[in-house]
Structure formats: C-alpha cells, structure tokens
Chain A
Amino acid sequence: MTKMPSNESATNEKSSHELKLQLLDKALKKCQYQQDALIEVLHTAQETFGHLDEEILDYVSIQLKLPPSWVYGVATFYNFFTLEPQGDHVCVVCMGTACYVKGAGDIIARIEQEFDLKAGTTAADNSLTLVSARCLGNCSLAPMLTLDGAVLGKQTPDSTVAAIRETPATTSVVSEETS
C-alpha cells in the first residue's frame, strides 16, 4: 500500500489532484517534514482534499516517515478528520449544553427524518452530510448550527429544514466546516 496517489480518470481531474498534492507538499515542506507536525499536515490535507482517504494517509505517512498505523491512529482519534467524502452541503448542528437545553435534539431528529440519514453520515444521494458537534462557541445563539460554514442562530426544526432546502447545490467538494 505504498503507491503514490494517482488517478486513472479524466486528465483534468488528475491535474486538479496533482495541484492539491502540491499544496500538501508545500505544507510538508513548511513544517520541514517534522513528525510532530502531523496534525497540521492532516489539517491541510483535509482542507484541500475534503476528506482523508487511504491514499492521502499513506502519502503522509511516507513523507513524514511515520508508520501508517500511527497516521491512521491520529486521523481517527480526532473528530475533525473525516475519512469519508462529504456531501454537497454540510450541516453541523451544535449539541452542546446550551443548545441541547434549548431543543437541538429536535432539530437533529427532524433533519434525520426529512433527509433520511443519521447524524454523522451523508445522505445516499450525497446531498447532505449531517454532523453533530459539541458546542461551537455561540451559545447565546442557541440552538445554533452551521450550514456550509454560515452560522444560523436561534433555529427551529422548520427553519433549519427550510434553510437546507433553500441553499443552492454547490459543486465544491471542499467544505468550509472542516477547514
């Protein structure tokens, strides 16, 4: 499993992949290939690729001369890193105390029902990824959530579902949330 990340599909896709790899290389160089900088490197990787797949993790482990298990261990320890591709929209619902007390649970339940998915997963048609977070630090706006990075405060189940439906589908894979 030590192959370089490459892509057999269309050439333009390939070049964008290479461009992203260059960004990652830049980040690696910036930290002088120090093993201690693993988390920063993974942050950059996730920002550029949207998620961390096996190829990327392997690539990072080779570059930093760390065992793949180590890199995988770190990537799975932290909630921020996702090994799965994200949907067109990413909705992060805060389930911190203030938001919970003000009814964030109902919002999650309603989204799960309307879009037929479970929190922490992506809908089958790839339209939406639903994530629950533990306090986004905007407790005075409780219950709050972020939709593709934009903060929406004082939500109700209805207003959230409406907001998700109204947001135009974007083609961008890189989500703001995870950056």
Chain B
Amino acid sequence: MNTVDLQHVAEEEQQRQQQLNLRLFLCYSTPCLSAGAERVKNALDGLCDELDEEQRPTLEIVATGCMGPCSRGPLLRLARCDEPEEIYEKVTPEMACNIVRAALAAQSAAAEPLPSDFPFFACQTLIALENNGRIDPEQIIHSIARGAYSSLGHVLHEMTPEQVCNEITRSGLRGRGGGGYPTGVKWELVRKAQAERKYVVANGDEGDPGAYMDRTIMESDPHRVLEGMAIAGYACGAEQGYIYVRGEYPLAAARLAKAIKDAERRGLLGSRVLDSSFNFRIDLRVGAGAFVCGEETALMTSIMGRRGQPVPRPPYPAQRGLWGFPTLINNVETFASVAPIMREGAEWFAGFGTEKSKGTKVFALCGEVVNSGLIEVQMGTSLRDIVFAIGGGLPDGGTFKAAQTGGPSGGCIPADHLDTPVDYESLQALGSIMGSGGLIVMNETSCMPDVAKFFMEFCMDESCGKCVPCRVGTIEMLELLTRITDGSAMDEDLQTLEDLCHLVQETSLCGLGMTAPNPVLNTLHYFRDEYLAHIRDNRCPAGVCRLDQVPLLKLPEHAEQLTIFKEEH
C-alpha cells in the first residue's frame, strides 16, 4: 500500500460512514462491560435483526474503547447524520432499544442524554485520546478513516529524520512516563548515535497502582501507538521496535497483536513501509508482574528474557540499550501524542499547556470523586478544575483532603494547594510528581500515615533487591511506619524515619529506591500533625488505624530499661 492507496481507503470508509443514517457507539471497555455493556449489545443486535430490509443497512453498531466517564457506564453514543451527537449514561438493554427506536422514528427518546455542555467533556482537550470511543479498536479500517498512518506516510515521503526530530523538539513534548524528559532531545540522541542496529521500545508497563491511561490507550487505539513508534523508528534509524505490555493487561496485548498483524498485512508496518525504503517491525513482549520493570533499564533486561533488575546509568539506553545497541524508550502515551504533532504541526501542539509543559496529559481520575474515569486536560489546568469541575466533586458530601499523584514515587497534595496548575514543575515544587497520570482523590476518611505505609509496603514488595539501601531501607521504613500506625512509635522514631528517607533517597541504584521515600516525606511535610497525633496522643484523626499496641519501652516489664533509656538521652 502507498500513501495514495491509504488515502483512498480512508476516503472510501469515510463515505460509507457518512451514508449511514445512525451510528451507535457502545463503550466496550472493561468498566462498561462489567456494568453490563454486553447485555446492551446483545439487545441492540437483536433489535437490528428485527428491522426491515430498508432500515438495517443504514444503521451500525460499533463496539468502541473507553469513552471516559467510566463510573457512568455503560455508555452509548448516538451519531445521526446532521444532528449533534448524544451520549447516554448507565444504559440498560431496554433503555438502549427505546433510544434507538426513537432515533429511527426521529422522535425524542424518553431517556435524557448527558447535556452537551457536561463539564466532564467540556473541560477536556483530547489529543492522545481523540479516537477513543469513536473507533472499533479491532478494525484497522476505522482507524484509517480517522487518519491513522497518514502522518507516517507524510513523514516517510516528505521529511528527513533530522526534520522529524526537530519538529518533536519544537513541539515541546515531554515524556509522559513520569520523568518528563524532553522527547525530541532523546530522539536526537539516538539518531546521532552511530551503530549497526538501533531499537525503539514503547513502555506499556504502567506499574503505578491507581493508573490506567496506558492500558486504555493500548486497548482503545492501538494503531495510534504503533504509528508513533514507526515515526520514531524512522527518525532514529531503527528497524525494530518492541512494545512491552504489562502482564495484567491481556486484552491490551491481544489488541496490539492483532493491530500489528493487520498493519503488516496492509504494508503499514514491516518491510518497505508505505512504499518507501523504510523497514520497521514491531514485536510484542508481555511482562510478568514486576513494577520495577517499568524502569527503563530493568524493562530492557526483561525484554531480553532475564530478571528485570535495573543497571546503573550512564550509559543511558540511548547510548547502550537492548543487546548493547542504542535504544529509544518512551512511554505509550508519549508515542500516542506523536502522530497528531506530525499532522498538525509543532506550533499547534505547543499552543496547549504552559510555558514549560506543553500539550495535554491524560489522567486516571479515581478514588472519592463522583465522575471517575479517564480524562485528558491541557497542562496547567488547576487541580480544582480537575477534581470539582470534571470529577464533579466528592460523593456523599465528603470533603476533599488530598489528591495523590505519581503513585509510589509521588505524594499527596493537600486542599490548600487545590489551585496549583498541574504541570511537571508545579507538582515537583509541592513535593509530588506528575508521574504517569494516576490521580486519586481522598476524603477525610483516609489516614495519611496509613497511605504512606501503603506505598512503602508496595515499594518493599516491588524492590528488586539488587541494592542495599532500597532492599533494606524499605523494610526498615515500613517497620517504622507500622509502629506509627499501630501505636507503638515514639518521638525518636519520627526522626529516624526522616533520616532513613534521606539516606535511601540519595543512595539507591534506581528510581524505585530514590523515590520510594517521597510519599513519606511529602505527607510528613503537609500532614505532620497527623503523624504526631498518632505518636503523642495515640489517636488516628481519620479513624483508620487501630493503635492497639504500646511502645515497647512503655511495657511494664521494660520499666527498668525505660529509666536507663531516659538517662542516656
């Protein structure tokens, strides 16, 4: 297939779609499925079969990927020619049939659609997620009709690799995997590296608990990621790509495998891509459940079939990566932003966001919010807008206590800082990080030392055990936090904990250990009185911790030691 064919196929499919009278998009991603989307689909299929010969061909049901407001599923989007789209929430099979019957008869349905200015949608800017919920991810033709691989065609035929790297640099795109390293700079490094072979790797390991952006992108629009990787391959001079998918995401892996096959069959990947001299193959690698494999050097050892333990950097992957060759490694969401940048231009992308953080970011908004789900907002949107406008505030009249970002490497942002613009620098200044995009809202029933303990336990479990500060430090910090939350801590423990945090931060081998103390330090900073209430008053303000233990030195049988201890200090 060449670019002209590609355009032809796209136009044909667009025409077919335009001729349809009614298109029904049913969200078929896991949250909606578990809310009953399959029953809705069966009912709609049944309804279709009942229609007469004339009507049936004018109607299409598309099982799409995630539409966003997952807590309101199953979601049904109705697109009629020349009429604005309508989205219905929490549809039941009967409701869906009524809606469709009414639409076919050009009457208004009994059920009310979500208002067209519903803030959940109105406050978002969709770039990486623009196709989510509008295509059937298993049908390459749907993606092509929405412009998939056209950017790749343009890049291959009209631009030099250097120009591509420049364009990405000018767009200001930064890594969405957590670090925020400028993507263009990284591409340029790999492009300039002299080597016989180079690799491109997409990091779809998404280990951050409470985040599912990458999963949704891979499941809902797999071709977008593949196209981004192919553009990166051309820009850097790589002919082989790997996409590493977390083991917990079998559906994402299956969809990607199918997408790769479909794209290869049409000559959009493989040898001589789109009739150019560029060859690019992508292979899928499925992880096996290890958080540390999200770290780039560990991820590469895991691709090579070994224990996923990190190695010290430098050398950076861009210098020596997979099998010793220069390797470009980017997050899935980073790759998903590439095609629109090439299509619309760097200036367009740089027009969104803030001075230093350009474009948009996808967040998984969860926890105690009314509308939980997947959102994409411009960088610099305030936390208040995200939680209260898009998220609809807290349910059951709860009060906002903190928002957790950055998972086990991040921290909790307290209510005083709700007006902070969400971008890389501002969050870092608050002692948290942007991270991969998990945003968990907590109300007053969450106890901060308990949350810190939760993350420490996570880091202890997931520490690969290679370096001592992380392996032993996480255990010791967890022990101290356990004491704080069970009532057996003393004032001294808090100091020890803080010292240990700094030690682990500064001496660990990889990012896991270096950032493991963040949740502790950050909550100590903003919620110190809560820690003190546990230790001094033996009270958990949130009412979570049982505090049924006594400090060892206060047990009657230790009374003697206690005096010695006091004398010494």
Contacts and interface: CB of A to CB of B under 8 A. Distances in A.
Interface in B273-292: 285-291
Contact of A35 (B35, B71, B305): B305
Interface in A72-99: 73-74, 77-81, 95-98
A97 B304 contact: no
B34 A151 contact: yes
B210 interface: yes
A97 B206 contact: no
Interface string A121-155: 00000000000011111111110100000011100
Contact of A98 (B206, B307, B367): B367
A51 interface: no
B404 interface: yes
Contacts of B35: 153
Nearest to A96: B209
Given A80-B288, A135-B211, A152 B34 contact: yes
A36 interface: yes
Interface stretch (B86-94, B246-254, B467-475): B246-254
A96 B308 contact: no
Nearest to A136: B248
A40 B287 CA distance: 9
B70 A137 contact: no
Contacts of B364: 139-140
A42 interface: yes
Interface stretch (B192-200, B312-320, B417-425, B438-446): B438-446
Contacts, number: 131
B17 to A, nearest CB: 29
B349 interface: no
B526 interface: no
Given A151-B30, A152-B34, A153-B34, A97 B407 contact: yes
B286 A43 contact: yes
A24 interface: no
Interface string A25-68: 00000000011111110110000000000000000000000000
A109 interface: no
B454 to A, nearest CB: 6
A17 interface: no
Given A78-B308, A142-B366, A134 B209 contact: yes
B305 A96 contact: no
Given A79-B289, A134-B207, 17 more contacts: A36-B303, A39-B302, A43-B247, A74-B305, A77-B307, A80-B289, A81-B288, A96-B210, A98-B438, A102-B367, A137-B206, A137-B212, A139-B364, A140-B71, A142-B367, A142-B372, A179-B250
Interface of A: 34-40, 42-43, 73-74, 77-81, 95-98, 100-102, 133-142, 144, 151-153, 179
Interface of B: 30-31, 33-35, 70-71, 206-212, 215, 246-250, 285-291, 302-309, 364, 366-368, 372-373, 404, 407, 438, 440, 442, 446, 451, 454-455, 458, 461-462, 464
11 contacts: A39-B288, A43-B288, A77-B307, A78-B308, A95-B209, A101-B440, A139-B210, A139-B366, A140-B31, A140-B366, A144-B34
